[in-house]
Amino acid sequence: MSGWNEGAVAQTHPLIAQPSHDELVEQLFIRDLKLHVMQTLEPAQKKLAGAIVAQTETSAAPSNDPVGDLRGKMEALDSFRTWLTVKRESQRQLWAAVGDSVERQADQLEALADLPTPLGSVTLDAAFDVPAYIDRGDIHLMPGGNAHDDGSILQGAVMDRGGAVYMLGRNGGMLNDLRGQTAMAHLLTVYPEIEPKRILDMGSGIGTSTVPAAIAFPDAEVHGADVGASMLRYAHARAEHLGARVLFSQQNVEKTNFPDGHFDVVFSCVVLHETSQAAMANILAESHRLLRPGGVAIHLEVPLIHNFGDLWEELSSELEAQFNNEPNWRGALSADYGALMEASGFTDVKVGYQSTAFQARSGPLVFKDTSDGVFRSWFVTSGRA
Ligand SMILES: C[S@@+](CC[C@H](N)C(=O)[O-])C[C@H]1O[C@@H](n2cnc3c(N)ncnc32)[C@H](O)[C@@H]1O
């Protein structure tokens, strides 16, 4: 079995939960199972779906519900049901395994998070109103969901270690930070003259993408806002361990408490697909409100932008939303970002793929129309206020 960082430098930080030998074996097993599901079982299902679609096209009258028809035929196949079951179960096992490991070392993690002289801060809102799309189901099947709070940092600790396993260790190892590095690389690629004094990460989670902003722009005041108190406490401690000064706050990024024009740069990383159609428009509008004239918004999403008319893709999107609790998967992957950004008041809107950067400043600083594939580039839309 191979390890996490094949050939790469160790990428980690002191606060991340450390698995015992057996826990590590279990986490690596789950990672390899997920790889098997993605790289072997899923392409086989795609091939079967292609054969069914081809046969239907030659033998049947056009259908009013081609995706539903394909789903019905696929559901009759044992291999399809097995693929779907293993996919969902591997995801559930991931959180269960990481959750047990975090719980075992809860006291040590809390002690590590108790920092007497922090550089940054965390501001929580005891009366916070969690948006319905966050509360409705446990996103990605993480028990308790993003807003879960028991007064500890532990939900954040689960999200951190679990997120790195979820990304198969391929998004910056245990730092899981390549989205943030890539968003900042986009800024340096397309808007190189910008010298931001204030930056906001909208939907900052545990700060995996916020810390790269603070490191790329050490003189800027960097903020992160999210809905989850446990995640934010953890994000604060994590950023401190990485030597980054970040001001975290518990806020709905559809409508924050920052004044108009407060920021030079606002960005989000893989947030929009976890919201709703209405929230997505609100977040883009809020990102415009928060920018000073000429400021830049960058919204980075998963690199799987939807290909309408491809029935397998349509069915896969439906299954991802239904079985992995992704509330706005299809909405975010099929949105017309150019139109949405312009409707929010942005000019000079860019839509394309930013090559994955390992360090924002060392790049690669490449932005283009085509995707290099998952983990190699990210879908990005950006514009000026
Ligand atoms: C997939 S996580 C990504 C976190 C982080 N941006 C990253 O790159 O690691 C999506 C995050 O968006 C947050 N989120 C979704 N809707 C939000 C909202 N309306 N206000 C604040 N945060 C939100 C979720 O709580 C979650 O932490």
Q: What is the pLDDT of residues 67-126, one digit of tens each?
A: 999 999 999 999 999 999 999 999 999 999 999 999 999 999 999 999 999 999 999 999
Distance CA 146, CA 156 (A): 9
Distance 49 CA to ligand 1 centre (A): 33
Q: Is the dihedral of CA 175, 177, 178, 184 positive or negative?
A: negative
Identify whether the C-beta of residue 332 lies closer than 8 Å to the C-beta of residue 272. Answer: yes
Token readout for 383 is 């514009």
Q: What confidence tens digit (pLDDT) does each residue in 164-220 have? A: 887 777 888 888 899 999 999 999 999 999 999 999 999 999 999 999 999 999 999
Mean pLDDT, rounded, for 311-321: 88
Question: What are the φ and ψ backbone dihedral angles of 250, each rounded to 5 degrees?
Answer: -90, 105
Residue 64 identity:
N
Which has the closest alpha carbon to 199: 177, 222, 181?
A: 222
**Residue 4 reports pLDDT greater than 60:** no
Q: Is the dihedral of CA 143, 373, 378, 194 positive or negative?
A: positive
Question: What is the longest distance spanned by two Cα atoms in the chain?
Answer: 72
pLDDT value at position 202?
98
**Region 355-369 average pLDDT:** 93
| pLDDT at 136 (0 to 100) | 84
Best residue among 138, 268, 274 to mutate for probing ligand 1's pocket (most ligand atoms within 8 Å of CB) is 274
Q: Residue 368, CB half-sphere, CA atoms under 13 Å: how many?
A: 11
Closest ligand 1 atom to 205 CA: 27
Ligand 1, atom nearest to 275 Cα: 16
Residue nearest to atom 23 of ligand 1 (CA): 203
CB count in 10 Å sphere of residue 373: 11
Note the pLDDT tens digit of each residue in 238-271: 999 999 999 999 999 999 999 999 999 999 999 9
pLDDT of residue 306: 62
Q: Specify whether the CB–CB gap between 197 and 174 falls below 8 A.
A: no
Question: What CA–CA distance (Å, rounded) separates 338 from 209?
Answer: 23
Residues contacting 37, CB < 8 A, separation 6+ = 83, 86, 87, 90
Q: Among 204, 271, 284, name the best residue to mutate to test ligand 1's pocket (greatest count of ligand atoms within 8 A of Cβ).
A: 271
Distance CA 53, CA 24 (A): 42
CA of 24 to the centre of ligand 1 (A): 27
Contact 181, 172 (CB under 8 A): yes
Looking from the CA of residue 231, the nearest atom of ligand 1 is 27
Nearest CA to ligand 1 atom 24: 203
Q: Which atom of ligand 1 is nearest to the CA of 133?
A: 16
Say how many Å lie between the CA of residue 226 and the centre of ligand 1: 6
Ligand 1 atom closest to Cα of 252? 20
pLDDT value of position 219: 96
The C-alpha atoms of residue 35 and residue 43 are separated, in whole angstroms, by 12
Ligand 1 centroid vs 241 CA: distance in angstroms?
A: 21
CA 274, CA 326: separation in Å to the nearest integer?
6
Q: Which atom of ligand 1 is nearest to the CA of 254?
A: 19
Count of Cβ atoms closer than 10 Å to residue 383 Cβ = 26
Residues with a CB atom less than 6 Å from ligand 1: 131, 134, 146, 179, 203-205, 208-209, 225-228, 231, 252-254, 269-271, 274-275, 279
Of 185, 231, 181, whose CA–CA distance to 204 is shortest?
231
Separation of CA 243 and ligand 1 centre (Å)? 22
Q: Report how far residue 158's alpha carbon sits from residue 207's, in angstroms, rounded to the nearest whole number.
A: 14
| 13-59 residue pLDDT tens | 889 999 999 999 999 999 999 999 999 999 999 999 999 999 887 87
By most ligand atoms within 8 Å of CB, the mutation choice from 124, 146, 202, 249 for ligand 1 is 146
Show the domains of the chain with their CATH numbers: 1-385 (3.40.50.150)
